[in-house]
Amino acid sequence: MTVNHTSHSEEAVYVYEAPLRLWHWVNAFAILALAGTGYLIGSPPPSVGGDASASFVFGWIRYLHFAAGYVLIAGFAFRIYWAFAGNEHARQLFLPPVWRGRFWREVWHEVLWYAMLVKEPIKYSGHNPLATIAMHILFVWFTIFMIVTGLALYGEGTGMDSWQHTLFSSRVIPLFGQSQDVHTWHHLGMWVIICFVIIHIYVAVREDIMSRQTIISSMFSGWRTFRGNGAPPDSR
């Protein structure tokens, strides 16, 4: 009897440190809470009969939205700090090397890979260039946009003596025209982030399967494993 032996090799790189992984999941639940309560604020449920003190549903919806918003703000401030305090992968989202021609060539390669027009992906220990530029625009800048417009709207309720009104409401609302315009843009921003999250999850699952590297589990363990023929990961 002949026994066939096939070689199997895996290489692992420690990519995501524990504070970054913790931030990722806290941020994910904050966005989930913000999207759910934000949708209900934009499309309120029917009024409940009876005394208002016995049913404070919409009050709780607003409270959870505001609380999750402050969690998002605190987490984003920490994420900026960790971009400087963490390893090289922690700063990828904030400093994409857009000045390098090679970066844009690799972005184009990733576009072709996602379109299934090339057979093999380039393996990276961190985010690939397309993911880096997409997350820089759709996560970093849209998060800033949502924080600024959210605090501007929140400042209307806290009053003119509050820091939210002084720093945000009094400046942002006139910039957009009126309060309802800020509401509209804030609501549209929610849908952009929801679409981003859906694509983010799809791409993570797709890459885990097709590019033969652990994308999802790396955000739990911190380690990215490269399966296959022992091809060395691109550690840029």
Count of residues in the chain:
236
- Give residue-wise pLDDT tens across range 188-229: 999 999 999 999 999 999 988 888 888 888 899 988 888 765
For residue 182, CA distances in Å to 55, 140, 145, 153 come to 29, 19, 11, 7
Contact between 79 and 143 under an 8 Å Cβ cutoff? The reply is no
Least confident stretch, 47-61, 78-92, 126-140, 215-229 = 47-61
As a whole number, mean pLDDT of residues 106-120 equals 91
Phi, psi of 157 (to 5 degrees): -85, -30
- Reading the block at residue 229, the tokens are 């023929």
Tens of pLDDT, residue by residue over 120-169, are 888 888 889 999 999 999 999 999 999 999 999 999 999 999 999 999 99
- Straight-line distance from the first to the last Cα atom of the chain, in angstroms, rounded to the nearest whole number: 46
Instruction: Kindly state the average pLDDT of the residues 68-82.
Output: 97
Which pLDDT score, from 0 to 100, does residue 52 have?
Answer: 60
Tokens of 11: 């290489």
* 119 — pLDDT class (breaks 50, 70, 90): confident
pLDDT computed for residue 11 by the predictor: 80
pLDDT of residue 183: 95
* 127 touches 103 (CB < 8 A): no
Cβ contact 8:230 at 8 Å: no
Whole-number Å distance between alpha carbons of 152 and 141: 17
Give the mean pLDDT of 9-14: 76
Q: What percent of the chain has pLDDT over 70?
A: 88
Query: Taking a C-beta distance cutoff of 8 angstroms, is the pair 27, 75 a contact?
Result: yes
Of the candidates 27, 138, 35, the residue with the CA atom closest to the CA atom of residue 75 = 27
Whether residue 236 is predicted with pLDDT greater than 50 in this model: the reply is: no
- Residue that has been written with the tokens 């590019």 in this structure: 211
